[in-house]
Structure 1
Amino acid sequence: MAASNGGDAFEHLDTIAERLATANRVLFITGAGLSADSGLPTYRGVGGIYDDGVTEEGIPFEVALSGDMFRRRPELTWKHIARIEEATRGASCNRGHDVLAAFEDTLPHACVLTQNVDGFHRDAGSRNVIEMHGNVHTLRCTGCDRVKRVDDFSRLQIPPACLRCGELIRPDVVLFGEMLPFQALDHLADETTGGFDVVMSIGTTSVFPYIVEPVLSAREHGATTVEINPSRTEISDAVDFRLPDRAANVLDALWERFRSAHGHG
């Protein structure tokens, strides 16, 4: 049974700060709820890019943004990738990203496992990052495998072609229906082998097995598990501490408790 399953989001921050202070290995798992504090829209729902879940072509956005559609109609997939990039242009990492980078600098060992493709964790200074779904600003040629970073898609010809070999370029992200990158999976496996003393799930609905499993495994091995999310998720009943509030708010308060109690700058 979870030690705390609701109530005041800040009630247990002192206890969690103490657990972090004595931890040797910590895993932070992040999702769209963390980047939402940077003003990024979600794909669907109120205020989302696709409020009713479909594109103007009448196609579910998961189909438009799928690997199969990219192979058949790359111009359609690129159209909607560019729309997402446009909706997020000008946003940057927020206080929550900064706090996780600060924890990495302070704790003996910390790792960020993220579903987000915005690259904000690295922008904030985190180094040990597993970008499970890739990075939308990294473009890769499907022919010669050339890689370059592009922060603004507005000047790209859609779909873009490689200047070196002429083949189609794609964002280095996992589209719907595609396999996860082996490098990211290997990185996660290496981290998991070492075990964790604290695992924190932050702003993710926890619907993917590779997001849920580290939390459940940590719980089984006696590690401290924490969820930061305004809404209940698949793991809400399994964690030790559930903090129902926005990610940046809670992380900022947690860092202040940790820093004040243990003299970190």
Structure 2
Amino acid sequence: MHTVLNNDEAIEQIAQMLARSQSILFITGAGISADSGLPTYRGIGGLYNVNTTEDGMPIERALSGEIMARRPELTWKYLGQIEKNCRGARPNRGHEVIAEMQDHFERLWVLTQNVDGLHKAAGVRNVIDIHGDLHHLLCTRCAYRCTVVDYSELSLPPRCPDCGAIVRPDVVLFGELLDERKVERLFTELNKGFDIVFSVGTSSVFPYIAEPVRFAAQLRSATVEINPDVSRVTHLVDLRLAMRATPALDAVWRCYLDDK
């Protein structure tokens, strides 16, 4: 059960936890990208705030692997809307703090649900983007791959210049399995153990996002949640900062550096 402290006390204690740590895992969700102007899950162009899309199906179905295979133009229509809402976003101070921290500790990894690529853009080296990256495209038939910054460059649905087949983002659509290589990497790092695990800006509804926190708690590793809202892992963590991700991470990092 997490300790109830005011924010200043919690920030100081988290900084002290960091001072005793050499390995860190950050688990991040939409909350860390919100300060870059990206909408959270329920705010993507209002798509998730209605029961059905204008095409008469739930957005989760429109963005499923099944519909991508059968009606790619429909899936791409909504992928395009999501990308447009995210276009031009830059890493914020929260992303930058994590990138700065990696040179002060022996081992730092980020497990992110976000498909915006902002952790890597901030310079974080060890990122497991478990749901993929919206800007990395791949052919559904051949080995063609490319990176696209702006979907307005594309004719939707895009086709492979090599074989003419439909191209899709390298992301996990609804109903699809996670990338086995990324899952294997995650378990490899979890088995090495982490001194401290942060859950930042995520409701942790997916088991593979909540489980690393649960695993760390069982091993008596330090656990911290940064989230203005209660989540599926709130009851598991040692300390909780009920703050937005960016100001919380910045405050913790400044406190850590001041104490050194």
Deviation digits for residues 202-251 of structure 1, max 9, x if unmatched?
00000011111110110111111000001001111111001101000100
Size of the aligned set, in residue pairs, is: 260
Q: Are 1:72 and 2:66 counterparts? A: no
Alignment of 1:237-248 (within 5 A): 237-248=235-246
Q: Which residue of 2 aligns with 1:127?
A: 125
In structure 1, the residue corresponding to 2:55 is in which secondary structure? coil
Deviation digits for residues 99-126 of structure 1, max 9, x if unmatched?
0111112111110000000000000000
Query: How far 1:155 moved relative to its partner?
Result: 2.1
Alignment of 1:28-177 (within 5 A): 28-44=26-42, 48-177=46-175
In structure 2, the residue corresponding to 1:130 is in which secondary structure? strand
Letter matched to residue 2 of structure 1: H
- For normalisation by structure 2, the TM-score amounts to 0.96
Q: Which residue of 2 aligns with 1:23?
A: 21
In structure 2, the residue corresponding to 1:151 is in which secondary structure? coil
Letter matched to residue 258 of structure 1: Y
Query: How far 1:21 moved relative to its partner?
Result: 1.6
Whether the 8 Å contact between 1:43 and 1:49 is mirrored in structure 2 is no
In structure 2, the residue corresponding to 1:97 is in which secondary structure? helix
Query: How far 1:37 moved relative to its partner?
Result: 1.2
Query: How far 1:130 moved relative to its partner?
Result: 0.3
- For normalisation by structure 1, the TM-score amounts to 0.95
- Partner residue of 2:251 out of 250, 253, 264: 253
Q: Which residue of 2 aligns with 1:230?
A: 228
Query: How far 1:144 moved relative to its partner?
Result: 1.3
Question: Aligned partners of 1:70, 1:2: CA distance in 2, in Å?
Answer: 42
In structure 2, the residue corresponding to 1:190 is in which secondary structure? helix
- Partner residue of 2:8 out of 7, 10, 27: 10
Question: Aligned partners of 1:243, 1:47: CA distance in 2, in Å?
Answer: 28
Question: Aligned partners of 1:43, 1:245: CA distance in 2, in Å?
Answer: 18
Query: How far 1:47 moved relative to its partner?
Result: 6.7
Question: Aligned partners of 1:159, 1:188: CA distance in 2, in Å?
Answer: 32
Whether the 8 Å contact between 1:99 and 1:255 is mirrored in structure 2 is yes
Q: Are 1:220 and 2:218 counterparts? A: yes
Deviation digits for residues 121-154 of structure 1, max 9, x if unmatched?
0000000000000000000111112111101001
Letter matched to residue 95 of structure 2: H
Letter matched to residue 119 of structure 1: G
Letter matched to residue 108 of structure 1: E
Whether the 8 Å contact between 1:10 and 1:243 is mirrored in structure 2 is no
Query: How far 1:53 moved relative to its partner?
Result: 4.4
Whether the 8 Å contact between 2:65 and 2:174 is mirrored in structure 1 is yes
In structure 1, the residue corresponding to 2:231 is in which secondary structure? coil
In structure 2, the residue corresponding to 1:11 is in which secondary structure? helix
Structure 2 unmatched ranges of 5 or more: none
Query: How far 1:54 moved relative to its partner?
Result: 2.8
Structure 1 unmatched ranges of 5 or more: none
Judging changes above 3 Å, is the alpha-carbon distance between structure 1 residues 86 and 45 closer, same or farther for their aligned structure 2 residues? closer
Letter matched to residue 244 of structure 2: R
Whether the 8 Å contact between 1:215 and 1:225 is mirrored in structure 2 is yes
- Partner residue of 2:179 out of 175, 178, 181: 181
Question: Aligned partners of 1:250, 1:77: CA distance in 2, in Å?
Answer: 36
Whether the 8 Å contact between 2:45 and 2:81 is mirrored in structure 1 is no
Question: Aligned partners of 2:191, 2:120: CA distance in 1, in Å?
Answer: 23
CA RMSD in angstroms, aligned pairs only: 1.4
Deviation digits for residues 41-72 of structure 1, max 9, x if unmatched?
13425974443243211211111100111111
Query: How far 1:89 moved relative to its partner?
Result: 0.6
- Of 234-243 and 126-135, more deviation after overlay is shown by 234-243
Question: Aligned partners of 1:221, 1:150: CA distance in 2, in Å?
Answer: 41
